[in-house]
Amino acid sequence: MGPGWRAASAALVGGGVAIFAALRRLALAVPQPAAVRSRPGRVWRWRNLLVSFAHSVLAGLWALFSLWHSPELLSDIQDGYSVSGHLLVCFSSGYFIHDTLDIIFNHQSRSSWEYLVHHAMAISAFVSLIITGRFLVAAVLLLLVEVSNIFLTVRMLLKMSNVPSPALYEANKYINLVVYFAFRLAPQAYLTCYFLRHVELQGQGAFLTANLLLLDAMILMYFSRLLRSDFFPSLRKGSAGRDVDGEKFLID
């Protein structure tokens, strides 16, 4: 892609950062449940989750629309291209940059180091896709994970707010498990097999494959935590690795 298009893409990424900065300011106006207000360590996390929820809804539905509108993209994962997919990758890159800055500037790096690693992987991979114009379809497939994050974030918001509605949490728990398989594990497994079988392990292909394999490990780790927390609580470990409020947050 030419320098002009790359400059436009950089502007779009910057616009994404600005959008999520504005959403964070709007989140300040959202009433906080008493359970959040009573524990200062939760206030930042509550606002951060609200912004994450907004990104999940927008990016998840956007990814679904892009693939539904142009299903032929799935036949060319390496070189397939759509303007919608390109804009989505720029938009989500803006979110990951904003969230990284939010974590660092609010001194949450220690408790959120896993998310910083995840975001660094996502940003570096997405920037390489934007620059080269290749593997954009793979990025759109990966962003289907945001459909799963909708319910994962709702799960955490319910836990933090102590909403007295066990039925709502139980329903979301099982929906979350189903969409986790459909929109997180399945696309990830498909792309991993595709990259290992069809992508040359050199240059950008090697870089993206390494990123994908590391992301596989992180996703499986998150999945095991989710299962222990919601379905096998007797297997939960002690407080090691938990945040200032003694809770582990599973959102990415």
Condensed to tens digits (0 to 9), the pLDDT of residues 148-181 reads 999 999 999 998 888 767 889 999 999 999 999 9
Read off the pLDDT band of 241 (50, 70, 90). very low
Read off the pTM. Answer: 0.90
**CA distance to 33, 37, 109, per residue, from 28 (Å):** 13, 12, 21
Q: What pLDDT is recorded for position 246?
A: 38
Report for 24-33, 97-106, 198-207: range of highest mean pLDDT: 97-106
CB 36 within 8 A of CB 161: yes
**Which sign, positive or negative, has the C-alpha torsion 16, 17, 18, 20?**
positive
Three-state DSSP class for residue 62:
helix
Three-state DSSP class for residue 107:
coil
CB 150 within 8 A of CB 26: no
Tokens, residue 104: 């660092």
Q: Identify how many contiguous H helices and E strands the chain contains and give both numbers.
A: 10, 0
Nearest-CA neighbor of 93 among 187, 153, 24, 15? 15
CB 125 within 8 A of CB 211: yes
Tokens, residue 34: 């008493």
Nearest-CA neighbor of 10 among 98, 131, 115? 131
Per-residue pLDDT at 244 exceeds 90? no
Sequence letter at residue 112: S
- Percent of the chain's residues with pLDDT above 70: 91
Q: What pLDDT is recorded for position 252?
A: 36
Nearest-CA neighbor of 56 among 218, 161, 179, 226? 179
Mean predicted lDDT score pLDDT of the chain: 89
99-140 per-position pLDDT tens digit? 999 999 999 999 899 999 999 999 999 999 999 989 999 999
Sequence letter at residue 36: V
Per-residue pLDDT at 240 exceeds 50? no
Lowest-pLDDT range of 4-8, 23-27, 104-108, 167-171? 4-8
Q: Which whole number is the average pLDDT over 21-39?
A: 91
Per-residue pLDDT at 187 exceeds 60? yes
3-state secondary structure labels for all residues of 121-187? HHHHHHHHHHHHCCCHHHHHHHCCHHHHHHHHHHHHHHHHHCCCCHHHHHHHHHHHHHHHHHHHHHH
Tokens, residue 29: 């106006």
Q: What pLDDT is recorded for position 248?
A: 43
Q: What pLDDT is recorded for position 39?
A: 83
Read off the pLDDT band of 4 (50, 70, 90). low
Residues 6 or more apart in contact with residue 56 via CB below 8 angstroms? 146, 147, 149, 150, 153
